[in-house]
Structure 1
Amino acid sequence: MKYIRLIAAVLLTILSVFLFVSGIVGWGVLTVIISLFFVLFHFKNEMNLLAFYFIRKSKFQTVERILSKVKRPENMMKTQEAYYYYLLGLTQAQTNQPSKAEKSFKKALSTGLRLKSDQAMAKLNLAGFYLSKRNKKVAKIYLMDAKKLDKQNMLSAQIKEVEYMMKRI
């Protein structure tokens, strides 16, 4: 099931070569472009791309609706699956579903988020969840991991905020 898009891309590429050889260059270019879309969507899931777009717009209800259309995320490539759970966790955290968000972030981390900044964001959220449960020890572990992963200091303000909350507990 995972490779249907690649098979379609190969068939379209063969068709485009035939069209180029036949002298029908316009249609050949069009089939090459379409085959490139199939290859792109093999490596980048279109539902994840749409969800990223709406997360940037802070439309979390729309993101939930988009992600609910994915029936079997375990059939995605591992990185796509990890980002599916990451996006789901971000959405659940924003819509006040902390226990579901915690599970989603853990699943995203165990599946394998690719970018260090995304791993840091997931661990920072987990630190916040554990801090709200008054489990300071586990929260501190996740917070230290988030600090190590945040090389560009993109999350420094949020990390300081969680550290301040940790001191108050």
Structure 2
Amino acid sequence: MSNLIRLIIGFALVGAAVALFIFGHWGWGLLAVFFSICLFVTYFYNENMLIAQWYLRKDNMDKAAVFLGRITNYETQLNRMQHGYFNLLIGLIESRTAPMKSEKYFKAALNLGLHMDHNIALAKLSLAGIAMAKRNKREAQMYLADAKKADKNKLLADQIKQMKDQLGMLDRQTQVRYSHR
């Protein structure tokens, strides 16, 4: 359903709810308000993205990919503020199957804009993991520092610490390898 049609139906339902309240039909009025709120929420947040996020939280990547696949052209189907989140979700799904391919999605998400600090931290932490896999220590350290800075609520503190420990182990392995030569 087009976004303009959603807004028109949403405002029509608000008008109908006001009329129902005036005529004393409180139950139907509340139901109309509920449906208008649902329409307004899906105007700002695409329902396929909301369902995909729910499946990601349940760790069901296949179903999340199905719902994200329903968004054929994100630039026209989503609001501009959702473009970064779409790429973040695709990157999270791709990171399970093809981690190196997910790098472009995380970078696109950061370039298009993520509004919540913990999502920025998640994208940067994922990019740090990819940089570690490529044995690019400097880039991994930069992304980890950025992720730590963006994680103001300490939601990813354990993962950041674990990644730093792994980076230290990688550094020690490199030193051992060069000392035996």
When the two structures are superposed, what TM-score results if normalisation uses the length of structure 1? 0.88
Q: Which has the higher mean CA deviation after the structures are superposed, 149-158 or 53-62?
A: 149-158
Question: Are 1:111 and 2:112 matched, yes or no?
Answer: yes
Please, which runs of 5 or more residues in structure 1 have no aligned partner?
none
- Percent identity between the two aligned chains: 38
Please, which runs of 5 or more residues in structure 2 have no aligned partner?
172-181
Aligned position for 1:64: 65
Question: Are 1:83 and 2:85 matched, yes or no?
Answer: yes
Who wins on radius of gyration, i.e. which is larger? 2
Q: Counterparts of 2:57 and 2:100 in 1: how far apart (Å)?
A: 23
CA deviations on 1:49-72 (whole Å, 9 max, x unpaired) are 111211111111111111111112
Aligned residue pairs total: 168
Aligned position for 2:37: 36
Which residue identity is paired with 1:38?
Answer: L
Question: Cα RMSD (Å) of the superposition?
Answer: 1.9
When the two structures are superposed, what TM-score results if normalisation uses the length of structure 2? 0.82
Aligned position for 1:162: 163
Aligned position for 2:122: 121
Q: Counterparts of 2:128 and 2:90 in 1: how far apart (Å)?
A: 17
CA deviations on 1:24-72 (whole Å, 9 max, x unpaired) are 5443333222111111111222112111211111111111111111112
CA deviations on 1:93-132 (whole Å, 9 max, x unpaired) are 12x2123311111111111111111110110000110111
Which residue identity is paired with 2:119?
Answer: D
Which residue identity is paired with 2:41?
Answer: L
